[in-house]
Amino acid sequence: MDSESKPPTTKNDKLHIVMFPWLAFGHMIPFLELSKLIAQKGHRVTFVSTPKNIDRLPKLPPNLSPRLTFVKIPLPHVEKLPENAEATVDLPYDKVKYLKMAYDQLEHPITQLLRDASPDWVIYDFAPYWLGPITARLGISSAYFSIFIAASLCFMGSAQVLMGMRGDSRMKPEDFTVPPKWVPFESTVAFRLFEINRIFDDILGDDENIPATYRFGAAVDGCDVVAVRSSYEFEPEWLQLLEEIYQKPVIPVGLLPPMPPDHDSVDDTKEWRTIKEWLDKQPKRSVVYVAFGSEAKPSQDELTEIALGLEQTGFPFFWALRKKQGLADAEAVELPDGFEERTKGRGIVCTSWVPQLDILSHNSVGGFFTHSGWSSVVEAIQFEKPLILLSFLADTGLIARVLEEKKMGYAVPRDDRDGSFTRDSVADSVRLVMVDEGGKIYRDKVREAKGLFVDRDIQDKYVNGLLDYFKTHNQKA
């Protein structure tokens, strides 16, 4: 374990908070955004992760580095976990369970760190289901921070339901395709059959791993308070219901939009300059940006239909494509024969990392074809980009239902049983959201939502609310 720099300790230090996210960038980045906002208020934050992940995180603004410290804990070796894999982005889906097994072996070093650092609060993720009792034993207050929206959490149920201790009659995938009995208002928020089938093994668990649902339940059960990446402006009824379901305080921390790119203060990378040159040549709001997050990889059939659908639209496109999920992925997907030649100049397919925030902020981008991951949705709405939705894993299907209800996104029509879709439905969906008169509602709703998603005063109010709660409910106070 090593600390990159030791923060100064003075009598005037306010709270000291330790952050411990799950090893996925869709989790680490929101934890980091919240860490930065807390550090801006003058509090000390210790952000704990593995060495490779910390090295891959965005660099801190210089003014925050005295108060925001990164601590690296080496990831223990686990059989079947590929060498150098420290995050879900490094792995195919079926190997993520071994990453969780390695993560669970961080229990001893994180306990030692907490004993030595004696922080006021620990903010942890769903994966370290074992951490709540440890913080209680050490006399440290704890918050479970959910990067999942309240609607998704409500759908999954109480801690007791999640841990298999009480009354969830949902035993087969079909049971998850309707809203649960504890949702008292009308809602379409539920999985489609293909969505739940893709993650059902993680819900049930297997001989090699703890079920994800149990981890969630124990994380909620063991904490003093639940913090949620959401806001009352976005989903008031779900946040209220969640507090009733959990029977403990639920505090929204805002939507945590990342700070817009500032190219005057950072060195533009060569990659971004090349992308920007191409984007600069495209007409305003004409480009469809295509990206399905760091964990979702379309099947070969899905990839083919996406590609041919994009080709059919005639629109310029920029596609951030993951052909493989890390070096251990033996099943790379390939673009259709002749696709890149036929779309040369009109479309770009990039198979390496791309600066998503920079691309979304560019005025030539007119729509975002996305997997409905919450971070991507927040970033898109921050820059008024209407959403074409194609869900894959985790709770992206539930997020898609919420966005569809609010007319903030349009989902590509699919077969409910196997999730299949056609190139025609891809082309029609992209055209609808980008330019058709019938899709104006989606463009308008995203424009309206931008204010509540990026309003810094609203965001500030939520962070202040969390910190006020931390100060008044600190076990050490």
Q: What is the DSSP string of 21-76?
A: --SSHHHHHHHHHHHHHHHHTT-EEEEEE-HHHHHHSPPPPTTTTTTEEEEE-PPP
Do 49 and 471 meet the contact criterion of CB atoms below 8 Å apart? no
Looking from the CA of 89 toward its CB, the CA atoms found within 13 Å total: 17
pLDDT value of residue 8: 43
- Who contacts 183 (Cβ-Cβ below 8 Å, separation ≥6)? 154, 155, 189, 241
Nearest to 123 by CA among 257, 30, 234, 210: 30
Q: How far is CA 7 from CA 16, 71, 113, 122, 423, in A?
A: 11, 11, 15, 17, 54
* Residue 48 C-alpha from the chain's centroid: 18
DSSP 115-173: HHH--SEEEE-SS-TTHHHHHHHTT-EEEEEESS-HHHHHHH--HHHHTT-S-----SG
Q: How far apart are CA 472 and CA 477, in angstroms?
A: 8
Do 457 and 463 meet the contact criterion of CB atoms below 8 Å apart? no
Torsion of CA 212, 257, 372, 57, to 10 degrees: -60
Q: How far apart are CA 274 and CA 21, in angstroms?
A: 33
Q: What are phi and psi of 2, to 5 degrees?
A: -145, 150
Residue 267 token pair: 């060195």
pLDDT value of residue 9: 41
* Residue 315 C-alpha from the chain's centroid: 28
Alpha helix ranges (H) inside 283-419: 300-313, 339-342, 356-361, 374-382, 396-405
Q: How far apart are CA 199 and CA 212, in angstroms?
A: 10
The dihedral region occupied by 278, where left means phi > 0, alpha psi between -120 and 50, and beta the remainder, is: alpha
The one-character DSSP state at 108 is H
Do 303 and 335 meet the contact criterion of CB atoms below 8 Å apart? yes
Q: How far apart are CA 307 and CA 338, in angstroms?
A: 11
pLDDT value of residue 394: 79
Angle between helices 374-382 and 396-405 (to 10 degrees): 40
- Who contacts 336 (Cβ-Cβ below 8 Å, separation ≥6)? 304, 307, 308
Instruction: Write down the residue that tokens 């007791």 correspond to.
Output: 160
The dihedral region occupied by 256, where left means phi > 0, alpha psi between -120 and 50, and beta the remainder, is: left
Do 305 and 336 meet the contact criterion of CB atoms below 8 Å apart? no
Longest CA span, the chain: 66
* Residue 247 C-alpha from the chain's centroid: 25
Q: How far is CA 453 from CA 8, 126, 450, in A?
A: 34, 24, 5
- Per-residue confidence in pLDDT tens, the chain, 477 aa: 544 444 444 444 589 999 999 999 999 999 999 999 999 999 999 999 999 999 999 888 888 989 999 999 999 999 999 888 999 988 888 888 899 999 999 999 999 999 999 999 999 999 999 999 999 999 999 999 999 999 999 999 999 998 886 667 788 899 999 999 999 999 999 999 999 998 887 776 665 678 888 999 999 999 999 999 999 999 999 999 999 999 999 999 999 988 766 554 344 577 788 899 999 999 999 999 999 987 777 888 999 999 999 999 999 999 998 776 656 556 778 888 999 899 998 998 988 888 899 999 999 999 999 999 999 999 999 999 999 999 988 789 999 999 999 999 999 999 999 999 999 999 999 999 999 999 999 999 999 999 888 888 999 999 999 999 999 988 766
Q: How far is CA 141 from CA 18, 198, 230, 277, 471, in A?
A: 10, 36, 22, 50, 10
pLDDT value of residue 324: 60
Angle between helices 456-472 and 25-40 (to 10 degrees): 80
